[in-house]
Amino acid sequence: MSGYSPLEYDDGPLVWVDCEMTGLDFLNDRIIEIAVIITNGNLEPVDEGIEYIINTPKEVLDNMGEWCINQHGKSGLTKSCLGSSLSYEQVSLNVLNYIQRWIPEKGAGVLAGSTVHADMRFMMIGMPEVMKHLSYRIVDVSSIKEICKRWYPSVRQQDKQRRTEECAHRALDDIKASIAELKFYREKIFIPVEDKLERATTPEDERQGKTAI
């Protein structure tokens, strides 16, 4: 059982989402699997997260592009979609209830993930009530990856070496990989200014109104 209480705005909650879809056309394709992990601002998960596979008709799955047919077939997702008892509406409601349980305040949770703007487009259409509960801001790890590639190429190379396993393209595994990647970037390229300021300011400085700046 989790030791966390529901998160508030000041906890910096991040709602990590990953979806597997029938394709990348958000106007015509659809979500077939979704996973959510909620962390605080320090990237500490409140629990193990949730993952749902949506019942999807065979004719929809048969009309996927070649990449999706091969990948979702190899991962077992296609078969699971055919056998799932959960409708799109049920999954959408379950996801909303889960997020609201951990982050009751509307707008406090920030959507996070890798290339999560793509997931957001699908959710804006297919799960609008979920998106209405979240902030209009997002944390996209792919943005940091691209900046790192341009400004810190040696660190980017370390990240490539760190991620040696083949991507499973299953939602919950992909979220965990995204959180681990952001932790890696935080350790390698983000200077802990707050900690340095706290260490550099003594109690005597505080009494005299001085700061470490």
Q: Indicate the residue type of 63.
A: N
Torsional sign, CA 68, 73, 76, 80: positive
Q: What is the DSSP letter of 26?
A: T
53-to-20, 89, 94, 188 alpha-carbon distances in Å: 9, 12, 12, 35
Active site residue 136: yes
User: Distance (Å, rounded) from C-alpha 141 to C-alpha 145?
Assistant: 6
Q: Apex CA 174: angle with CA 168 and CA 175, to 5°?
A: 160
69-to-145, 153, 191 alpha-carbon distances in Å: 28, 34, 43
Other beta carbons within 10 Å of 2: 10
Note whether 52 and 91 are within 8 A (CB).
Answer: yes
Strands 110-113 and 138-140: parallel
Q: Which of 9, 136, 152, 185 is catalytic?
A: 136
User: Which of the residues are catalytic?
Assistant: 136
